[in-house]
Amino acid sequence: MARAVREVKSVCVYCGSQDGRDPAHASVARAMGDALVDRGMRLVYGGGGIGMMGQIADQVLARGGEVIGVIPESLMRAEVAHAGVTKMHVTTGMHERKALMADLSDAFVAMPGGLGTLEELFETWTWAQLQYHDKPMGLLNVNGYFDGLMQWLKQAVDDGYVRPQHHGMLHVATDPVALLDELIQST
Ligand code: AMP
């Protein structure tokens, strides 16, 4: 499918509802917030006020940027819905949340997180593989956090389960600025 040239105005960021143990992860979340604001890009995210989600949202807001949260009603308490976002969409469930986050965004970035983060990244990636969308996708590999995943993905290609062109859809970088630049150039 020919890729339409489009401006990246809104970036959907998937990341942990916890901070993790490596302090570099939280500082990279804030650096990603800076990189978005510096480019005049809007943050679309899961609406949480804690963990990596809270870190990036707080930083974008502190810098005067725009933050759109999308959270299921049932998770508003567990994920401590952020009280200060520019706009919060409250959905009836997880499927509606993910669909709305995707609709509101021009590109996707995954940062360190857990099962929810991976589920969101892989759903978005498989939708691209099926040509449901052609929006660019990136992975921020901070301090080698995703090295094991990268190694498995390479094995999945070598073993004939993932096509190289689908593997190549995911842009990987260690630095937020480099990753956003790659995503912009790929549109
Ligand atoms: P985690 O990486 O597990 O901390 O989760 C990060 C975000 O993904 C949180 O906002 C979770 O609510 C969300 N999440 C968890 N499970 C799922 C799922 N099955 N589908 C979509 N998002 C999820």
Mean pLDDT by 10 residues, the chain (187 residues): 70 97 97 98 97 98 98 93 97 96 98 98 98 97 98 98 98 97 93
Instruction: Give the distance between the most distant pair of CA atoms in the chain.
Output: 47
Given this model, what pLDDT does residue 1 score? 45
pTM over 0.75: yes
What residues line ligand 1, using a CB cutoff of 6 Å?
A: 16-18, 46, 48, 75, 79, 94, 98, 113-117, 119-120
Given this model, what pLDDT does residue 61 score? 98
Distance CA 91, CA 72 (A): 4
Q: Which residue puts its alpha carbon closest to atom 7 of ligand 1?
A: 116
Residues 6+ apart with CB under 8 A from 93: 72, 74
User: Which of 115, 118, 125, 126 to probe ligand 1 with, by most ligand atoms within 8 A of CB?
Assistant: 115
Given this model, what pLDDT does residue 5 score? 58
